[in-house]
Amino acid sequence: MSDPTTEAAQALLASAAPLVAEHAELERAMTDPALHADQTALRRTTKRYAALGPVVAAYRTLAAARADLAAAHELASEDPAFAEELPAIEATSAAAQERLHTLLLPRDPDDDRDAILEVKAGEGGEESALFAGDLLRMYLRYAERRGWKAEVLDETESDLGGIKEARVAVRAKGTPQPGEAPWARLKFEGGVHRVQRVPVTESQGRIHTSAAGILVMPDIDEGDDEIEIAPADLRIDVYRSSGPGGQSVNTTDSAVRITHLPTGLVVSCQNEKSQLQNKESALRVLKARLRQAAREAAEAQASAARRSQVRTVDRSERIRTYNFPENRIADHRTGFKAYNLDIVLEGDLDPVIQSCLDADEAERMAGAGGVGGSGELTRS
């Protein structure tokens, strides 16, 4: 009679075997000097190699655990000592099997990318702009905690020092481990964030509710030719950038505004010192937006759209509430709730983000059906 546990483990090992072979191929490729001469290809190779590393480690752990388990079963009838060790060995094997199963679940193909994050004030006037500024600072501090580099590409301040709109590029340093890149952790931040507090403009001490919107997109790698834009499809305007409070910080037209004529998308950038740098930053954001729009349209057409991100700052579509009187933060998608809002606003976002990651993993496991599919880890 066949053992279902053994069959499941064998199926997992068989599913992972091609990825283990690919990992070995990549390891050999990285010793080739020709690869190191092409920085774009090298970056893609090292990212893929890093992504496969945990799968290879889990594969070897499970293979070793299954071998130990088979040997223990064979010797248990002859030596009571081996029989006593069986439960511990079975537990190790089960844990290794679960780990490999999780790693082989379908995953977001963009999870190893950097991210572009946009903050936009919504309903609530100055209070909404002030809250948008709080969110921007929260994400900048979170990036610092994670060891990422965060670069503000463009921002428009309000009269009271809040943020009407801001755009930030968040990049990992080096090659991050799977699931640790900016997009993998920040993608769940997209949506409407609601705040409840007494605004600085409120003279009667009443609590007001307002909102700000967050949009997150995978960044486009340098040299990525997935999105091509014809020069004729662009209108590029230049103007003088301005600093905080509207003070002129340039005597030359260094700020850039790019309009993509076919779609009407507009991207501006003014925080770099030169017009060329601002143009390059704006083009990268435009490519990321076009790629995100194309991806979502394709997924919607296939009736497999992932968690949508809110484009309009409508308080009825909120994903999270920040309640200042109660020092409470609540995520309405996962049920996460904590009474340490002051700490979260200092960049301690990992617990609430982890609740989203856990919910996403549970959803993927429920939809996986079996153990065979390796999803986006399969060779591309």
Query: pLDDT tens, 317-351?
Result: 689 999 999 999 999 999 999 999 999 999 999 99
What are the CB-based long-range contacts (under 8 Å, 24+) for 80-86? none
Query: pLDDT tens, 192-202?
Result: 999 999 988 77
Q: Which residues contact 103 (CB under 8 A, 6 or more apart)?
A: 54, 55, 58, 377
CATH of 115-220+229-362, one of 3.40.50.1820, 3.40.50.720, 1.10.3720.10, 3.30.70.1660: 3.30.70.1660
82 pLDDT above the threshold of 70: yes
Q: How far is CA 93 from the centre of its chain?
A: 31
Q: List the domain boundaries for the chain.
A: 4-104, 115-220+229-362
Q: Which residues contact 44 (CB under 8 A, 6 or more apart)?
A: 221
73 SS3 class: helix
The number of helices, as runs of H, and strands, as runs of E, in the chain is 9, 11
Q: What pLDDT score does 41 carry?
A: 87
Q: What pLDDT score does 291 carry?
A: 85
Crossing angle (nearest 10°) for helices 80-103 and 350-368: 100
Model confidence at 379, pLDDT cuts 50, 70, 90, reads very low
Q: What pLDDT score does 225 carry?
A: 61
Distances (CA, A) of 42 to 99, 171, 173, 182, 213: 29, 17, 15, 20, 36
User: Which amino acid is residue 38, in one-letter code?
Assistant: D
Q: What pLDDT score does 248 carry?
A: 44
Q: How far is CA 100 from the centre of its chain?
A: 22
**Which of these, 173, 275, 291, lies nearest to 224 by C-alpha position?**
291
Query: pLDDT tens, 263-314?
Result: 888 998 887 778 888 888 888 889 888 888 887 776 665 544 344 444 445 4
Query: pLDDT tens, 247-259?
Result: 444 556 788 999 9
User: Residue 173 CB: number of other CB atoms within 10 A?
Assistant: 9
pTM, rounded to two decimals: 0.72
260 SS3 class: strand
Mean pLDDT for the chain? 84
User: Which amino acid is residue 113, in one-letter code?
Assistant: R
